[in-house]
Structures are given as C-alpha cells and as structure tokens.
Structure 1
Amino acid sequence: MPSFDIVSKTDMPEVNNALDGVRREVTQRYDFKGSNCEITIEGEIITILADDNLKLTQMQELLKGHVTRRGIDAAALDFGKEEAASGNMVRQHVTLKQGIDRELAKKITTAVKQSKLKVQAAVQGDEVRITGKKRDDLQGAIAMIKELNIEQPLQFENFRD
C-alpha cells in the first residue's frame, strides 16, 4: 500500500554552517567594528547577544539570510522575546522548530479527512503517515497539505509504492 511521511526536520550541520557565516560576517562588517555581538548554539536553541536593539535586528536579518542560503526555511526559526543582558546588552533566544507537535498533527489529519481523498492519516510520534491505495491520491494529499499555509516547514519523506 503506498504511503509517505510528513516530517519537520532541520539539518543541524547546515545550521552550524549558517551560524559560522554569520560570525564571519559580523567580524568583517564595518558597522559591527568594536561591538561585542555574538551568536551561539546549544542543542536547538540559538542565542543572539548584541550591544543594542539595532544590532540585534541586523543579526536577526543576517541569521535569516544565511539560513536561507543554506537551504533551510527561515520559518523554522522561532524568535523569542528580547531581554536585557548584563552590560547594557540585549539577548534573544531563537528556537529551531523540530518535529510536528500534537496540534499541528491533529490539524493535518482533520484536513486530510475533510478533503474526501481516499487516504488515511495516522500520527506516529512527531510525524504523520499518509497511506492510500493509489499514488495519485497521495500526490493529491501532498498538494492539499501544501495549500494549508502551515507556518512550520514540512518535508514529505519515504514515498513508497
């Protein structure tokens, strides 16, 4: 029976490469000369530390640009609240969205059921498996899911006949 999985994964080595690019650009840019701006990552949380709000927004744009150049959707970045850090600096935590949470999985499965396509959706941990009798039905399900305008980037993997 043909099936495929809907997942939301971020390629962590590419994220690290993007962060290296941001660090390199921060050290070379004229408007960052003499500043203590830095960007670090621990697990799935990126921490941006900047001198002021202007430099923080510039670093956000740099991060989005470098991540996009590396083939990762910028929607995978979840920017948290700006907070004050020591020495009149500003800190912001950016979370990388990984996996499909329960609410999104429920939204996808109900949309598949309401679409009247001859496919079934099942939640399996942090991914959703779609199965059907025909390959064309599965391709229709992919097209329908892409039209849902979900904020989180989704990948369609393990397409099997």
Structure 2
Amino acid sequence: MPSFDTVLEPDMVEIRNGVDNSAKELATRFDFKGTSARIELKDKEISLHGDSDFQLEQITAVLIDKLTKRKVAITYLDMDAKIEKMGGDKVKQVFNVKAGIESDLAKKITGAIKNSKLKVQGSIQGDAVRITGKNRDDLQAAIALLKKEFADTPLSYDNFRD
C-alpha cells in the first residue's frame, strides 16, 4: 500500500551557515564594536548574548535576515524564550530549533485528511504523520491538500513508497 511521511525537519546545515554569517556580521558592524554581542549554535539551541534588550533585538534582526536569505523558515525557531539577565548589564536569550511535528499539529493534519474525503488515512507515528492510500494519485492529492491547508508551516514529505 503506497504511503509517505509528513515531517517537520529543519536543514541544520543551512541554520548553522546562517548563524555563522550572523556572527561574522556582528564582528564587523560598527554598532557592535567593543560590546559583548555574540551568537552561538549548540545542538539545537541558538544563544544570543548582548549588553541590552535593544542589542538583542538587533542581533535577532540580523539572524532573521541571514536565515531568510538562506531560505530557512523562521517558524523553525521557538522565539518565545524570555530574556535572561546575566551578571552586570549583560543579557541572554535562547532560541530552540523545532524539529518534529507536535501532537496538536499532528492532530490537525490527520483531521484535515479525514475531512478532505480523499481515500487516504493519516496516522501519527511519533513526530511524523504517515499518510497511506490505495494509489499514488490520492497521495499526491493529499500532499497538495496539506500544502494548501498548512501553507505557513514548512512541512516536508519524504519516505514516499509505492
């Protein structure tokens, strides 16, 4: 029975390149000279360090600019983290890189598949959603439906099997 997996997986190489480009720009910009402004990527966490909240906003703007130029969707970043006060006047903010489909999004995807009246079924498989159907055309219609319904979410479709 043909099937494919719907996943939410960022390209970590492009994210690393975007963070490295941001760090290079921070090192060369005049308004960051002599400050503690820096950006780091460890595992799936991007750490922003600066002297003030305003400086963190500027670093965030540089990061977003570099990631969008590398065609990385900003929705991969969990930007809800609070700004932490470090010693003195230093501040820090940590953005987590999201990977895998969360349970509420997976439920929405399976619900959209059921409501579409296509002859396919969706099942949640850990952090992915597996879509199965009788023929390839139905699966391609399901991919088109998901691209239309969840246009703001950078879903990818892999492991397509006949």
Output the CA distance in 1 between the equivalents of 2:6 and 2:150.
15
Letter in 1 for 2:91: V
Aligned to 2:4: 4
Structure 2, gaps ≥5 residues long: none
Aligned to 1:68: 68
1:143 aligns with 2:130: no
Q: Tell which deviates more after alignment, 36-45 or 91-100.
A: 36-45
Moved over 4 A (4+): none
1:120 aligns with 2:121: yes
Letter in 2 for 1:113: K
Shift of residue 61 of structure 1?
A: 1.3
1:134 aligns with 2:135: yes
Q: Tell which deviates more after alignment, 78-87 or 122-131.
A: 78-87
State whether residues 46 and 93 of structure 1, in contact with CA within 8 Å, keep that contact through their aligned partners in structure 2. yes
Give 1:75-94 correspondences, 5 Å limit. 75-79=75-79, 80-94=81-95
Q: Tell which deviates more after alignment, 148-157 or 55-64.
A: 148-157
1:105 aligns with 2:106: yes
1:21 aligns with 2:21: yes
3-state SS, counterpart of residue 100 of structure 1: coil
Output the CA distance in 2 between the equivalents of 1:95 and 1:120.
32
Letter in 2 for 1:105: A
3-state SS, counterpart of residue 40 of structure 2: strand
Aligned to 1:96: 97
1:38 aligns with 2:46: no
3-state SS, counterpart of residue 60 of structure 2: helix
Shift of residue 134 of structure 1?
A: 2.4
The aligned length equals 161
Letter in 1 for 2:39: I
TM-score with structure 2 setting the length? 0.91
Deviation by residue 1:64-100 (Cα, 9 ceiling, x = unmatched): 1212222321110111122222221221110101001
Aligned to 1:155: 156
Output the CA distance in 2 between the equivalents of 1:145 and 1:87.
49
3-state SS, counterpart of residue 147 of structure 1: helix
TM-score with structure 1 setting the length? 0.91
Letter in 1 for 2:161: R
